[in-house]
Each structure stands twice: as C-alpha cells, then as structure tokens.
Structure 1
C-alpha cells in the first residue's frame, strides 16, 4: 500500500515506514502531523485518485528538523563590474510515515494494515468459493466483465447501464451490436481489436 502526497510544493510517493525529508514543517519533533494533500492511494489492485485531492490523510511523525549543506549562489553582469556571492542552507523536516488514511480518514497503523490484508484475502477466498466468477450488480447476478482484457471498471459500469451483464451476452454480439456499442461508448473499434467476443466465448464456458 502506498500513497502520493504533496507538501512544500513537491510530490512524494510514500509507504508506511518510509522516512523522507520534506520542506520545513512547523511541528515539534516527536509530534504527529497529518499530510492532508493526498493525490492518490493504492492498495493492491485498488487505486483511488483524488480530484484533485482525497479526504483520507497520510499520518507522519516528525523525526527531526535540520538544514541541508551550503550551496553558493553567484550572480554577475558582463562589463558592469557586478559580482555577488551568497550562501544558502535549505531547512528541512525529516518525517516517518506511520499511517495511510482509510475510508473514514483514520490513519492505518502497520498492524491494522496487515489485518486489513489478511481480512481481504479471506473475504476474496470466500467470495471465490461461493460466487465463482460472478459479481452482484443491483438485484441481479452478473459476470465480472473486467476479466475480459480491455474492459476496465469505467467501461464495465457503462456496459452494466446498457443491461450487458454476462459473458454470454458479449459472446453473442453480432456486427450490428458491436457497431452500436462502439458508437455509444466511443470505443473506436476496441471490441473487435481486443477480441471481446472471442474472450467472452472462452469465459462463458
């Protein structure tokens, strides 16, 4: 599990336990800080992207404050006898990521993250035993259309809205139906190019 955050005008990819140096934060050493500008959270195959940011925070503990090594800033103007040399040391705050926000915005500790993964594995195994390759859509049972290469969650929702819920329905597409769906969903020939019908035939068995 990891997240992409923004702080100090810079973006960072972080996971629980990571240590990184960011632009100085007005937080005392040892205190926790919520990095609220979370652009994306990825938990296995589940990726949540903000628009532009997510409400779920990333929690970090301030390890220390410090200043980076000195750099020299030199300015000059030709034929003007102008020379200026200036030194600079950039301040920073070292933080350790301790939690990545869940659905309710609460931080997830390392232990709770592990528990969540274990629960997810158990739930997935139970669902596989009871439902096979089926997924519930509204009050009906339909196939998991995302098993067809080229159909993601967005296209699946559009197909479900068109009452296309099973592999068998896709396997029975004729050219007129393919042209109709290509036009309605602006797929630009993806159905034939990615061989949805052939894939659905195999999955429907």
Structure 2
C-alpha cells in the first residue's frame, strides 16, 4: 500500500515504515503527526483518487529529528558588469518515519475559530441635511445697460432680484458699481426692474428698444 500525500507544502509518495525528509515542522522530536491531505491511495491495486483529497484518509508519522540539509551554493554573475555574488544555503528539514496509512476514519483537524467581529460602534445620528440654499436670484442682465460684471457686483451687494433692484435708488446703484469700468447710466434701471418684477415683459421690451445702454 502507498499514498500520495501533501506534507509541509510538498507532495510525497509514501509507504509504511518509510523515512521522509520534509520542510521543518513545528512538532517536537518524538511526537506523532498526522497528515490528512491524501491525494491518492493504492491499496493492493485498488486506486482511489481524491477530489482533491480523500475524505477520512490520512498518513500517521513520527518525528525522528530536526536537521539541516546539504549546503547548496548559489552563485550569481552578471557578464561584463563585474558583478559576482556567492552564497551558501542549508534548508531546515525534519526527518519523519511513516507509521500508518489510514484509508478511512481519520479525524480532521478542527478549523481555526474565526475571531468574533468587534461590535460596531453606534453611529452618531446623521445631522439633518442642510436646507437647500435659497434659489438663485433673477437674471439682472435682462435690464438694459447691465452686463455680467455689473450683475455680479450688484449680487455681492445683496441685490439679487428685480424687486430689490426696483427699490434701490439710481444714485445708490451708481455708487455700488462705481468701481466697474465704463460709463454707466443707472437712471432707468429701477423702473426697468419694476416692469420685470411685475412680469410686464412686452412693455419692458418695447421700452428697451428705445433705450441706448440704459439711457433714455
């Protein structure tokens, strides 16, 4: 009888009483160890193949001793670069002897318990969404003589609607836009804004056709 089994990350074909050298195990010398990842079993010509392992099958072995393998020389060289490097390596191994091959009834190692997730911290209640900002003001550029820069200056001064512009004295408007380049005549702006605020667009359009840059 023989088995193909995975031990310490390698696959071996083993039989009873066979000595095997595997990568270093954490098991102490003299203790027994069980390998349950059996990939194939041959029992007197009856072959069983795992998918990928055979349920219940296992290989029992005893740790004989821990040792180091033969020294391996690792030499590196880069041609025409003047680079040479020589290192030696001895692999840490464990000598085991196979005591028994189980075809069924092997107990699988209990899976490691998952750590319980830490309880989630209670999230602070989300603040109520801020109220939407007040809707944008009117398009003051619809007043004859007001361009984008003047409209922005008026908005920064708190005049954002036609109604607010209609209530503002022409002299005050001229003072607000004093720093805006150009010669601006503000006399008709409050009246234009009043018509716009009242929705009298036809009357406003007719009047604007007679204006020149807001000047009557």
TM-score (norm 1): 0.49
Higher helix share: 1
Rg larger in structure: 2
More strand by share: 1
